[in-house]
């Protein structure tokens, strides 16, 4: 999941604290800021979504590469190639179909794990550049979790800027919405299962 869509390292982090972004998140929408470089035909995007679940559940789902293609639109394959024994980093390979106008894209990425944050960058693959970050944050009142995503992707071949912009604005929200459905579904199932368990005999 951390590599579904490939933050420019030098870019400033997105700020979703403005009133419009907060209203969109509270309404269950995905807040998105996207831009396209006409010179390099790359695209930069930042997005955030509110998920009504514990951050631990969100984190576990985000790190489950093998299951991601079963619910993420456009993700055809995600496979772990190697990683550190302590779980601090791993190398994954994935194949994504960004748009019906573009061929499927294969990428090999390195993911570095920090507390509630995943940084990823291109190792090899079809795209010229892709790097980004996932950030998981619990709301102060613990009522929900905010997931933020920052991304820079550069195809390495000419693509109309309008197509890059449209793809970023369509595919990333779809992926975050799919993540939310998956996490909230698992959280609801776990809650239902706990309520059905018989009380422990004393």
CA 49 – CA 133 distance, rounded (Å): 14
% residues pLDDT > 70 (the chain): 75
Q: How many CA atoms lie within 13 A of 92 on its CB side?
A: 25
Tell me: the pLDDT tens digits for 46-95?
A: 889 999 999 999 999 999 999 999 888 888 999 999 999 999 999 999 99
CA 156 – CA 144 distance, rounded (Å): 38
Residues in the chain: 202
What dotted CATH number matches 19-195? 3.30.530.20
Q: Which of 44, 12, 30 is nearest to 161 (CA)?
A: 44
Contact, 96 vs 5, CB < 8 A?
Answer: yes
Q: What is the pLDDT of residue 152?
A: 82
**Burial of 172 by CB count in 10 Å (0-12 exposed, 13-18 middle, 19+ buried)?**
buried
């Amino acid at each position: 999941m951390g590599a579904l869509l490939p933050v420019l390292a030098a870019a400033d982090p997105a700020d979703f604290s403005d009133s419009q972004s907060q209203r969109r998140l509270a309404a269950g929408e995905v807040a998105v800021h996207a831009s396209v470089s006409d010179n390099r035909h790359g695209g930069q995007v930042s997005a955030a979504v509110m998920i009504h679940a514990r951050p631990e559940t969100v984190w576990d789902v985000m790190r489950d590469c093998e299951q991601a293609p079963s619910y993420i639109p456009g993700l055809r394959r995600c496979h772990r190639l190697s990683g550190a024994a302590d779980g601090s980093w791993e190398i994954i390979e994935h194949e994504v179909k960004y748009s019906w106008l573009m061929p499927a894209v294969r990428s090999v990425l390195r993911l570095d794990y920090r507390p509630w944050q995943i940084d990823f960058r291109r190792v090899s693959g079809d795209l010229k550049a892709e790097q980004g970050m996932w950030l998981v944050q619990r709301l102060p009142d613990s009522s929900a979790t905010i997931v933020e995503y920052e991304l820079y992707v550069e195809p390495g071949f000419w693509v109309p800027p309008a197509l890059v912009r449209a793809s970023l604005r369509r595919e990333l929200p779809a992926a975050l919405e799919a993540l939310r459905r998956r996490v909230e579904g698992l959280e609801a199932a776990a809650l239902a299962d706990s309520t059905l368990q018989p009380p422990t005999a004393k």
